[in-house]
Structure formats: structure tokens, C-alpha cells
Amino acid sequence: MDKELLRLVIVLIGLLAMIVIVMWHFIKGLRSGGEALEDEADYDDAEDFDLEEDDEFADLPVDFADEADQIQQPAAVAPKAPRYHLPGLIEFSIVARADEGFNGEDLFEAFESVGLRYGSVKVFERIDSQRMVDFAVASMAEPGTFPADNLDQFFCPGIVFFMQPRELDNPAAVFEDFVDTIQALAERLDGVAWDNQRQPLTLDTIEQFRDILAD
């Protein structure tokens, strides 16, 4: 081999070796630096979140982390309580105290005094502003109707009030009128108001129906 060529080969090999050594040190330095940064980050994280050892959080309450979670995470929306199924029919009544029952003339006068109207099916009705029936009043005597004449000869042991909540736009408001009308007529006719179980109508029973009918 020519001396000049040999010298050139030696120089190239030396340059290549130097490049390899430099690259090795460079890569090694990058790895060392990366590990150092990870260790430092882990150390910083440990210091930031160690509530027991870090003086900055020494005075905070123990449940601080829980409160932080509550602030960061939106509170779950509580599901609405299911609405009670409206009853298909509410039936209250008034029973006469007198043995002979209620007289027809007394009933007609009492019904008119509270705004009830005699309907085409021969029962009394509460008519709303849209000319719809809110509730009706029938006789306890068969067939449940009131005669249009000879009222002085008509007697019945009691009267029955009906309302259908599912058919009403505002059953809670109608129920208030329903109860007020029954109480007013019971006092005027000297009768005893009964609930749907044929028991004396009490405030507790009225409140139970109010809760059921409330929106």
C-alpha cells in the first residue's frame, strides 16, 4: 500500500473514532439529564402533594383533598323524585245526622249557595271557566240522581262527591275547591264528611291527598 494512501486511511479511521466517541458522550449526557429531570420532577411532586410533611399545607384540614375533589369535579345532578301516580277517582261524601236524611229542597238551596249547577244527567256539578266539569255531586239513594221537581218529597241518606284528577289541568287547585265545598255543605246541612274509606274526613287525610296531587 502506498504510504500516502495508508496515512489517509489512518486519518479517516481516527476521525471516525473521534466522531463515535463524541456521539457516545452526547447520547450518554442526554440520558443522564433525562433521568435527572425525572427524579427532580418526582421529588417536586412528592413535595407538592405531601400534606403531612410540607409546611405550606400543615395548617390545612385533613379533608382538604376531598374538598378539592368536590370543587374540581362537577356535582352530580340529583334525580328528580318520581311524581306520584294520580288516582283515577277521589270520592268523599257527606252523611246526614238526621234519621230521615237530607231533604231535596234543602239540598238544592245548599248546592246553589256554593255555586253548584244542576246538570243534564241530574246531578250537581262544579263548572269551570272553560265550561268543563271539575267535580260532581250525586245522591246516595239509587239511582244516584236528584229529581227536578217534587223536591219536598225527596230524601236521601247522604251525598257523594266525585272528582277525576287525571282529567283535570290543575287537580291540586280543584281539590282545594272540592274540600272547601264539602266542608261548607257539611256545616250547612248538618252532616258528617266522610273520606274515601267511609271514615270521618280528617285534616291528615286531606294533607295526604294534597301531597299526592301536588306537582
DSSP-assigned letters across all residues of 25-42 = HHHHHHHHHHHHHHHHHH
Asked if residues 192 and 97 have their Cβ atoms less than 8 Å apart, the reply is yes
Higher pLDDT, 89 or 33: 89
Return the CA Rg of the chain. 45
Query: How far, in Å, CA of 161 to CA of 4, rounded?
Result: 127
pLDDT digits 0-9 by tens, 138-181: 999 999 999 999 999 999 999 999 999 999 999 999 999 999 99
pLDDT digits 0-9 by tens, 92-134: 999 999 999 999 999 999 999 999 999 989 999 999 999 999 9
Domain boundary assignment for the chain: 3-72, 90-213
Cell of 157: 241518606
Give the pLDDT band of residue 85 (cuts 50, 70, 90): confident
68: pLDDT strictly greater than 80: no
For residue 171, which of 206, 210, 140 has the smallest C-alpha distance? 210
- Overall average pLDDT of the 79-87 stretch: 56
Fold of 90-213: Cell Division Protein Zipa; Chain: A, (3.30.1400)
pLDDT digits 0-9 by tens, 179-205: 999 999 999 999 999 999 999 999 999
Burial class, 135, CB count within 10 angstroms (exposed 0-12 / middle 13-18 / buried 19+): buried
41: pLDDT strictly greater than 90: no
